[in-house]
Amino acid sequence: MKSWFKALTTTALAVSLAACGSGGGGKSESSDAGASGSGSPSASAPADSGKQVTLRFAWWGSQPRHDYTLKLIDMYEKLHPNVKIEPEYANFDDYWKKLAPEATAQQLPDIIQMDLSYIAQYGTKNQLVDLKPLIDKGLINTADIAENALSGGKVGDKLYGFTTGVNALNVDYDPELLKKVGIDKIPETWTWDDYKSYALKAGSQGLYFDVGLRPEVFFGYYLRQNGKTLYSPDGTQLGYDDDSLFVNFFGMTTGITKAKGEPAPDVTAQIKGVEDDLVVKSKAISNWQWSNQYIGLQSTAKRPLEIAPLPGPNVEKGMFLKPSMYLSIAQNSKNQEEAAKFIDFFVNDVEANKLILGDRGVPLSSKVKEALKPLLTPEQQKVFDYIAWVESHSSPMDPVDPIGAGEVASIFKTYDEMMKYNKITPEDAAKKFREEANAVLAKNKQ
Amino acid sequence: MMRSISWKRHLTGYAFISPFVIGFLVFTAIPIVVSLYLSFTSYDLFSAPKWIGLDNYDRMFNKDPKYWNSLRVTLIYVFGGVPLRLAFALMIAMLLNAKARGIGLYRTIYYLPSIIGGSVAVSIMWRNLFNDEGLVNMALNALGIGSVRWFGEPLAALWMLIFLSVWQFGSSMLIFLAGLKNIPASLHEAAEVDGANAVQRFFRITIPMLTPIILFNLIMQIISAFLTFIPAYIISKGEGGPLDGTMLYSLYLFRRAFVFTDMGYAAAMAWIMLLIVAVVSSVLFASSKFWVHYESKGGE
């Protein structure tokens, strides 16, 4: 009995080791095959054969976006009966958790909605195709798009993402609530000092002024105002040396949170989607976010909201236009040309954009923008006007976020919360954050 | 001749157990070996694993305060939650041990929560009950008490998770119930005749007779508590907040693996968890000879 057991375990071990070995070998083979095969399917697939193809399209967002995107897919399938599109959608956080294992398995969706903070990682690790050759083949029409508008999707000299539209940081606020605390409107030329006094005023009257400022985004803006950047140009360390900037900024926000001008982190942690937004529920006056999100916020709140720029001074140095998101094509896609055609539809088709209505950023195509103008509600028009204003009040964007930016943001969030819970002073947080963030970014040195 | 027959017989035997053996190898044994290998590598899912020796373990023990925090949170969760859960399970088991009409129905009803207990649905329900604007706060407001921020402080939020776990007492309860049924009624009767009251009987008869069951439940519950993931993930939206107060070990491991695509580090964490569970279990086993009472001594 015992010897049998021994024999069995040894064989099991041998088999598992062997399988493990071949698994390792097999993996590198298959990744080679993936790289060499990537060119051939597109070459062998006839341009428009009517051959049945199935494309997987993945995006993140909230319910309104899911709804219209499904309609948009229906529309495309009617126009192209040979194409079937399988949607895959989730919220932002879950989306990336799903995408990373799919990349390992070489099972990425054909068309991937891509974000600024991930494009460097997916691009440089050979998960995405360079879109330039597909554009040169005429599969994606760029005739109505300004020459350098697409450069935001470049990593190095490869175009890994096609920008769906641009957005900018903005303050979306409810003018009625603002009046309630005795402030008429947020002036275009307001400053951080104004912000502080408004927020304290709101807090003293039982209203939140805002729903929290994402540290990496708004401290990033604050750094730009002061001529610095969050990340160094090569992405191997933080881009600022002077911790007093950190202390000033977070001293201010922490003070506002303690004065209840801003909700404590555990309150914001309960917000699951735009439906729960504190502005929607009339508990907060403003939400500081990206301009394309104004539309979702306003349509959920169902009452007029206004847009203000971020506080000065030096708004022009701080503000920038950012590709709100990209559409990318997976390296492992077997239907890259069909995927490119869908992207073309997405960014150039007027009917398609009548569904999107700027939710994925103000479109790049001048033709689309022109066609949308008469259709926009006054609320949507505000976003387009705001982007036009930013165009003349901004400086170029920082380079795309380095690999590890997601982790740095998470470290940032922890220290931001600790400061708000009084567990650490801004001075100590500045040091600790620098230490930990630099340790993450140092991995990009090679 | 004889030999070939027995060989064929063995083959038949292997054929019958092959579903398990193949399943075990493919889904358990090989992944375990691979994860041990990965724990010595830096692996970001996008490029091939790179051998870095003990770096992951070094980082874990010496350079990662979040790791120690997750361990601390998990220990509170385990050693705060498991005794409570077992006490609760024993209490319900005693109640359901009574001879009453329809007791079978009650047993079923009380077991139900643990069938769905660890699941996503219950965690979502828990979150909705104790949200700032949840049912519990609505009730408190209606009574004029005012709402409580149940998940407002790191430690408070952790205790909310512990209470959720206490509520999943069903499986230990059933095992206790079976144990209670095995205590000979004659012991209780004899004690009663001798004038022992209910409390005395509970501590002098019920508890000692149950110690083997308690040991079993304790070990099973401790292991499952160490591995708890779902409630923390659901209730904190996968972030382990506030202030990492609900960042259980498994949740932190998951975040390292799938949020930061740091698979090597996550694999190393998993191996340390295995060691911790093994050590805790063997300490319990070793201690059992001091407190576990077996009816039949020297049965070998």
pLDDT tens digits along A183-220: 888 988 899 999 999 999 899 998 999 998 999 999 99
Looking at residue A373, the DSSP 8-state letter turns out to be G
Give me the residue from B25, B46, B48 closest to A16, CB to CB. B25
Q: By the 8 A CB rule, do B275 and B69 touch?
A: no
Q: Which of A392, A228, A382 is nearest to A321 (CA)?
A: A392
Residue B2: the pLDDT is: 53
The reply to whether A297 and A434 lie within a common domain is yes
Q: Is B111 within 8 Å of chain A by CB?
A: no
Q: What is the β-pairing status of strands A322-329 and A111-114?
A: antiparallel
The reply to whether A234 and A307 lie within a common domain is yes
For residue A68, the domain's CATH number is 3.40.190.10
Q: In B, which residues are within 8 Å of A102 by CB distance?
A: none
The reply to whether A301 and A333 lie within a common domain is no
Q: Where are the alpha helices (DSSP H) in chain B?
A: 2-24, 30-38, 55-62, 65-96, 103-117, 120-130, 135-142, 154-166, 170-182, 185-193, 198-201, 207-226, 230-235, 249-254, 263-291
Q: Nearest CA to CA, how far is A60 from chain B (Å)?
A: 15
Cα–Cα distance for residue pair A276/A278, rounded to 1 Å: 6
Is A332 part of a structural domain of the chain?
Answer: yes
Domain enclosing residue A55, as ranges: 50-164+323-391
The reply to whether A288 and A410 lie within a common domain is yes
Residue A282, phi then psi, degrees to nearest 5: 60, 30
What is the ipTM metric for this complex?
0.72
Q: In B, which residues are within 8 Å of A15 by CB distance?
A: 25
The reply to whether A408 and A380 lie within a common domain is no
Residue A358: the pLDDT is: 81
Is A128 part of a structural domain of the chain?
Answer: yes
Residue of B nearest to A103 (CA): B46
Ranges of chain A with pLDDT below 70: 1-50, 147, 446
Q: Is B21 within 8 Å of chain A by CB?
A: yes
Is A42 part of a structural domain of the chain?
Answer: no
Q: Nearest CA to CA, how far is A155 from chain B (Å)?
A: 17
The reply to whether A151 and A248 lie within a common domain is no
Q: Nearest CA to CA, how far is A184 from chain B (Å)?
A: 30
**How many other CB atoms are found less than 10 A from the CB of residue B81?**
23
Q: Which of B48, B259, B49, B263 is nearest to A34 (CA)?
A: B48
Is A29 part of a structural domain of the chain?
Answer: no
The reply to whether A135 and A173 lie within a common domain is no
Check B151 against A270: CB less than 8 A apart. yes
Q: Is B54 within 8 Å of chain A by CB?
A: no
Residues of B (166-205) whose Cβ lies below 8 Å from A: none
The reply to whether A249 and A365 lie within a common domain is no
Residue B118: the pLDDT is: 61
The reply to whether A181 and A255 lie within a common domain is yes
Give me the residue from A100, A270, A272 closest to B132, CB to CB. A270
Check B45 against A12: CB less than 8 A apart. no
Check B242 against A421: CB less than 8 A apart. yes
Residue B118, phi then psi, degrees to nearest 5: -85, 5
The reply to whether A210 and A315 lie within a common domain is yes
Check B33 against A16: CB less than 8 A apart. yes
Q: Is A12 within 8 Å of chain B by CB?
A: yes
Residue B87: the pLDDT is: 92
Q: Domain tally for chain A?
A: 2
Residues of A (257-286) whose Cβ lies below 8 Å from B: 264-267, 269-270, 272
Give me the residue from B44, B243, B258 closest to A423, CB to CB. B243
Is A5 part of a structural domain of the chain?
Answer: no
DSSP B218-283: HHHHHHHHHT--HHHHHHTTTS--STTTT--HHHHHHIIIIIS--HHHHHHHHHHHHHHHHHHHHH
Domains and CATH numbers, chain B: 65-291 (1.10.3720.10)
Q: Is A28 within 8 Å of chain B by CB?
A: yes
Give me the residue from B25, B45, B131 closest to A104, CB to CB. B45
Check A269 against B21: CB less than 8 A apart. no
Residue A284: the pLDDT is: 92
Report pLDDT digits (tens) over B260-281: 888 999 999 999 999 999 999 9
Cα–Cα distance for residue pair A288/A267, rounded to 1 Å: 16
Ranges of chain B with pLDDT below 50: 298-300
Q: In A, which residues are within 8 Å of B260 by CB distance?
A: 406-407, 410
CA A219 to centroid of chain Cα atoms: 17
Q: Nearest CA to CA, how far is A420 from chain B (Å)?
A: 10
Residue B3: the pLDDT is: 58
Q: By the 8 A CB rule, do B168 and B85 touch?
A: yes
Q: By the 8 A CB rule, do A70 and A86 touch?
A: no
Report pLDDT digits (tens) over B64-104: 888 999 999 999 999 999 999 999 999 988 888 877 788 88
Check A267 against B149: CB less than 8 A apart. yes
Give me the residue from A19, A31, A269 closest to B239, CB to CB. A269
Q: Nearest CA to CA, how far is A1 from chain B (Å)?
A: 13
Please report, in angstroms and rounded to a whole number, the separation of the first and last CA atoms in chain B: 40
Check B34 against A23: CB less than 8 A apart. yes
Using a 10 angstrom Cβ sphere, with 0-12 exposed, 13-18 middle and 19 or more buried, the burial of residue A236 is middle
Q: Is B241 within 8 Å of chain A by CB?
A: yes
Check B243 against A417: CB less than 8 A apart. yes
End position of a domain, from candidates A369, A391, A413? A391
Q: Is B20 within 8 Å of chain A by CB?
A: no
The reply to whether A213 and A131 lie within a common domain is no
Residue of A nearest to B43 (CA): A104
CA B286 to centroid of chain Cα atoms: 20
Check A100 against B66: CB less than 8 A apart. no
Cα–Cα distance for residue pair A298/A293, rounded to 1 Å: 9
Q: Nearest CA to CA, how far is A272 from chain B (Å)?
A: 8
Q: Nearest CA to CA, how far is B296 from chain A (Å)?
A: 28
Amino acid at B99: K
Is A191 part of a structural domain of the chain?
Answer: yes
Give me the residue from B243, B259, B261 closest to A421, CB to CB. B243
Q: In A, which residues are within 8 Å of B239 by CB distance?
A: 269
Residue B280: the pLDDT is: 94
Is A41 part of a structural domain of the chain?
Answer: no
Is A275 part of a structural domain of the chain?
Answer: yes
Q: Which of A439, A419, A418 is nearest to B69 (CA)?
A: A418
Joined tokens for residue A190: 């307001």
The reply to whether A375 and A424 lie within a common domain is no
